[in-house]
Chain A
Amino acid sequence: MKYTNDNTILSSPLGVGGLSYDALVIGAGIAGGEAALNLANTGFKVLLVDKELSVGGKMIMLSKVFPTLDCSACITTPKVSEISRHPNITIFTGSEVGEIKKISDHEFTAKVTKHPRYVRVEDCTACQLCEKACPQNVRDQYQFGLIGRKAAFIPFSICSPKAAAIDIDNCTLCGACEKVCPTNCIDFTQEVEVLDLHVKTVVIATGFDMFDAKKLPRYGYGQYKNVITALQMERELAPTRPFNTILRPGDGKVPDKIAYVLCVGSRDASVGNPICSQICCMYSIKQAQLLMGALPMADVTIYYINIRSFGKGFEEFYQQAKGMGVNFVKGKIGRISEKEGGNLLLRYEDINEGKLQEAEHDMVILSTGVLPNTGIDKFFVNETLTLDPFSFVGQSDMLASPAKTSIEGVFVAGTATGPMDIPDSILSAGAASSEAISYLIQQA
């Protein structure tokens, strides 16, 4: 395996004035991973960079996937493992790309900043003794804040590389972790490294961001404890779930009247995002089905504007949810208020009845939308990476060559171009890698 701080970096192909690779793939989620594998399998050397501590992106965090209900971890980990072990792929996690410059045709330089993990990955056995010893408690970003973690921590159980990291911003440098580490792999002397790269082509697979539900105070997220986001519910439903059951965070009660609010931060010009996020209907229907399985007595209601079950097998999956007893109510939620005891009152326009209604639920899940990961265009210093009106990466020939961007030799994969589900991300990554492979072959 080749990771940050791993000595294999030294044996990587050294170009003039730095490391050199055929392709730089930015983002190691499912799209970046697929693109990297396609390039690597056809003989090209790839550097795969991700700012997170693990590869696998958002998919590796999910519970099951629609409409197959495959366990997401089970189908992601082999892919992650294949990426990690591929002789043609070098991975930098905890690293950020900056300043990409086009020198000539088929020649880019890029700077990669590798943030110190303060752990020598190759020596760490993930024994978790440092976790136990660390006195600092912090909210766990990989469980979307549902539970805490330590400042010395393993990101999550199926992360890759499976190694501890020190969250230096929350570390008091007490040294407790260092003392208990049986392999002496904790190293506080690690510093930020900035590497100069030479690459021939770039694939942008920077993924998406989720809408911050706090920006819609009328839904009470962050204020009412029993209002959570769908991504948090993904964790509650995942096989590596934090509570080992479904519960509402306010008081630990197992909920029995659950509501889904769709289009939170999507199809909503008032929050600056007029487009549809394409995945929320389906992930909500999937979660509803999983909840019906986990809590057979619970009522699950989905409040929607339109159900968009448009993909292969999706409509049937929607009908299946109806058949299982999921309650679909056409109407947008206007406001949520909290009752004494933590239950929530949802006020909405019931389209079928044609009037305003109120409904009480004991837990509310906000199906938040997909937003662009901004800032990618700033990486390019001497060329302009054009964005679309919604700040996703622009497609210069959208119908005929969807992976092409405004810069020749720079291609885009997955949700960096707009909302899409997993198979569409895989197809888009296939297109981006096809373009990149052709670009590399034509240069040779």
Chain B
Amino acid sequence: MSDVVLRGFGWRHAGRRAWAVRDLDLTIARGERVLLLGPSGAGKSTLLAALAGLLPEDSGEAEGVVEVDGLDPGTARRRVGLLFQDPQTQLVMARSGDDVAFGLENRGVPVGEIWPRVAESLERVGFRYPLTRPTAALSGGEAQRLALAGVLALRPGLLLLDEPTANLDPSGGALVRDAIRRWHRPDRTLILVEHRVAEALPLVDRVVVLEPGGGVRADGPPGAVFAAHGDDLADRGVWVPGHPIAPRRAVSPPGDVLVRVRDVAVDHRLPPVAATVRSGEVLAVTGPNGAGKSTLALALGGLLAPTAGRVEFPGEPGPPHRWRAGALARRVGSVFQNPEHQFVTSRVADELAVAGTAPSTVDGLLERLRLSHLANANPYTLSGGEARRLSVATALATAPHLLVLDEPTFGQDRRTWIELADLLAGLRDEGRGVVAVTHDEAFVSVLADRVQALPSVRSRAVAGRLDG
């Protein structure tokens, strides 16, 4: 008997004209480990929600058949576990042990069994803290392993993973994948959505590629699928191994110094650091979690007062954290890790005009960042890649010479990634200085003219984000 069967399955969210998934026929046998691929918008997450019995019947319409172990997914829910991307929207309780117990309580597991199962699950994912460890004090990778423990404690036969490592730094991601690999047994089925294929391949033995608009485009063993469709998938944004991205090197040597960081430290968050950024160069700031990378970006951006040392812009008066916001934005453009933090209006075009930017410049920026067709959209409705492009555009609207970005390529598909790399390379070649805080090795190898690695300090975990 098959574990998962879809026949002519489709789903449309309320309020949308287009179907998220349509005409999908797919059979997955027990014990298979499937990587589900497809460009963004192909309905991968919708499909996982359908298999987990979580499609909100009051907020959309379904067609076709979905079965798990021959049952309606709503009935089969006890057999299915689902892990999402962001640990901070999965953890429920304040203490780690309580969070793993949450699902067991919901299922009515007898009290005497709960804590042994909690301990067993935490052990399995390699969680090394006591049960009382506050969930808010965990790093992203630790929090995601805790969330995985909460799912595995329910002993699912079918495990669904929706980009489980996309929000994590490389070492955190590796730990989560390791825990997933150790979980698998011949009688357990795994379906993984992930667009960084190289990381997913050790976990899977079959690849299914969804077609946006409906149906399955390719299905088979990884080798065969990537031989036949690798180029096409890479073009459509999937990170397929063996498709390296050519470096974007500076065409001319760097120019004047734009900013000097003189032994800047910020209380316990950033130990003293010195740095210089020139026009026409891309500086990548790397380092482990807790090294203070994001804090350095904030100090460079004039958003945080250093507790020691100085940030100097040659020819400009005083330290940047004392400047009025308008003056600051004309000199430094800061791009935050979460694009939505920077949105202040209800229309994409207004976001760029808010700083008093001329309409022709707004149109030019929209054009350059491929956002013209979204000029009237609400910024909060943009996809991840679109929102990232808009946040870069907002920083460019005031035409600063220096751009400071915090994990700009974080979680982006390959297509958006290349667009961003081209854009940043172009800005550098126009003579701007670009500083990017990043964990992304590809970013460093493709774009960085110089790398400054911040040393590891006593690990100080900050909840939920890659807070450097």
Whether both chains belong to one complex is answered with no
Q: Could you tell me which A residues sit within 8 Å of B by CB distance?
A: none
